[in-house]
């Protein structure tokens, strides 16, 4: 009987202790050190996180390291960041060495690739139209977990970072077009909105997404005549309803594009950022038919090109003229308003950066966050987006399968 009682006591004691471990188990979590390097891409003036954003991250227990001078073009000083709780790194080497998560605006530049340490996480734009196989190869070899702004997606299918940057790009596209229509810039000398007795400019927007929405909104606000083209009829219906039929819509086929090019003073390429553009929608012959002094703004240039005559330009040398048409094909248009764009990017990125906190591993982070999981394009030595695998011929695995395996 005594023997039986002893066994019972032991069982009870073990059970109680097991339960106690479940109840008071201390959380073993990663110490997130988030590094924000100075942008080194040509004419990239934005910074990934503003000082107020850094303060929120630090208050939530995330250590932030920022490279000296990273916020200069946005008029954010090192003192602003230090007062927000960030540590200032004097060199990029120092920053990469201290950080396990790197957050950038533009994709890593060739000179930055050697700075990555194995096992780090990268969060930045990818720019499908200019993605480098060498970049992917390096990230794969160093076992980097890489997330692209273009892929971060909420459960309802929204692309929040892309939308934020697209809003700015759409508005700036009209502001830019108005400038290059001016006589002093070699334009046709037409006021975008016209005046009483003088017709306004005709603006054609190819793409009924977020860029197209904000471009149409600003163009109509200035008084321009606006036509929007898209291949999906339901998107055009939404535009007509949203703008109360104050614009014209048409299906984006060769016939309508060719017709509208002849009468347009401005054509804006605003195709969806979800996929790489393999073939331009507007042929060189169609561009030749445009009026002398008209303007092309190819917002889609970072995904490929909407116009056959498009080639990359920069904020330093933003335009060139071909067939009498001024072309503006800057891939990082929002960088022209670096401070506004940096605040907007911070507002959108912050909820996702906060999701990094309180997890044991990177796998745990991705497993528990749908948005970050959808944003991942490299994980555990594999490409996890089919489009990139096809583009660069790298081994592809679905992210869910990899997470289940690891």
Q: Give the SS3 label for residue 344.
A: helix
Q: Pick the catalytic residue: 80, 127, 298, 359?
A: 127
Task: Return left, alpha or beta for 323; rule: phi > 0 is left, psi -120 to 50 is alpha, else beta.
Answer: left
Contacts with 260 (C-beta within 8 Å, 6 or more apart), sequence order: 204, 227, 229, 250, 267
- Look up tokens 């892309």; give the residue: 162
Whether residue 204 contacts residue 264, with contact meaning beta carbons closer than 8 Å, is answered with yes
Q: Which residues of 354-387 are buried (b: 16+ CB within 10 A; e: fewer)?
A: ebbbbbeebbebbbebebbbbbbbbbbebbbbeb
Q: Give the SS3 label for residue 324.
A: coil
Q: Which two tokens stand for residue 56?
A: 């929120």
Q: How far apart are CA 37 and CA 143, in angstroms?
A: 20
- Compute the chain's Rg from CA coordinates: 25
127 belongs to the catalytic site:
yes
- In DSSP notation, 352-402 reads HHHTTTT-SSHHHHHHH-HHHHHHEEEETTEE--HHHHHHHT--B--HHHH
Task: Return left, alpha or beta for 314; rule: phi > 0 is left, psi -120 to 50 is alpha, else beta.
Answer: beta
364 belongs to the catalytic site:
no
Whether residue 293 contacts residue 186, with contact meaning beta carbons closer than 8 Å, is answered with yes
Nearest to 297 by CA among 275, 273, 264, 274: 264
Whether residue 136 contacts residue 144, with contact meaning beta carbons closer than 8 Å, is answered with no
- C-alpha dist (Å) from residue 96 to 25, 38, 39, 197, 260: 33, 11, 13, 61, 50
- Look up tokens 């702004």; give the residue: 149
Q: Which two tokens stand for residue 137?
A: 């190869």
Q: Pick the catalytic residue: 202, 230, 302, 327?
A: 302
Residues belonging to the active site: 127, 302
């Amino acid at each position: 009987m005594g023997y039986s009682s002893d066994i019972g006591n032991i069982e009870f004691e073990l059970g109680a202790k097991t339960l106690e471990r479940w109840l008071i188990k201390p959380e073993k979590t990663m110490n997130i050190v988030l590094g924000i390097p100075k942008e080194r891409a040509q004419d990239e003036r934005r910074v990934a996180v503003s000082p107020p954003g850094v303060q929120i991250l630090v208050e939530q227990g995330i250590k932030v390291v920022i490279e000296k001078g990273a916020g200069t073009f946005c008029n954010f000083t090192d003192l602003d960041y230090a007062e927000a709780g960030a540590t200032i790194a004097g060199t990029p080497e120092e920053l990469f060495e201290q950080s396990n998560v790197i957050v950038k605006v533009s994709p890593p530049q060739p000179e930055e690739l050697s700075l990555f340490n194995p096992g780090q996480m990268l969060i930045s734009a990818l720019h499908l139209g200019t993605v480098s196989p060498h970049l992917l190869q390096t990230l794969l070899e160093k076992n980097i977990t890489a997330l692209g702004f273009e892929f971060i997606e909420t459960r309802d299918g929204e692309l929040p970072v892309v939308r934020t940057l697209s809003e700015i790009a759409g508005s700036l596209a009209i502001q830019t077009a108005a400038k290059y229509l001016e006589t002093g810039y070699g334009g046709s000398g037409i006021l975008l909105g016209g005046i009483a007795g003088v017709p306004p400019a005709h603006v054609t927007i190819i793409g009924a997404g977020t860029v197209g929405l904000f471009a149409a909104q600003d163009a109509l606000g200035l008084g321009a005549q606006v036509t929007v083209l898209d291949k999906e009829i339901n998107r055009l219906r939404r535009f007509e309803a949203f703008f109360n039929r104050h614009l014209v819509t048409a299906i984006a086929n060769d016939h309508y594009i060719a017709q509208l090019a002849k009468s347009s003073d401005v054509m804006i390429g605003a195709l969806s950022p979800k996929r790489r553009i393999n073939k331009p929608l507007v042929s060189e012959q169609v561009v030749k038919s445009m009026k002398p002094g008209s303007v092309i703004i190819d917002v889609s240039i970072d995904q490929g090109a909407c116009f056959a005559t498009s080639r990359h330009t920069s904020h330093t040398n933003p335009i060139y003229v071909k067939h009498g048409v001024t072309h503006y094909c800057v891939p990082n248009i929002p960088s022209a308003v670096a401070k506004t764009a940096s605040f907007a990017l911070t507002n959108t990125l912050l909820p996702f950066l906060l999701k990094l906190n309180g997890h044991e591993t990177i796998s745990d982070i991705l497993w528990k966050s749908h948005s970050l999981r959808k944003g991942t394009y490299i994980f555990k030595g594999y490409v996890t987006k089919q489009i990139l695998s096809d583009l660069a011929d790298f081994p592809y695995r679905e992210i869910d399968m990899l997470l289940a395996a690891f």
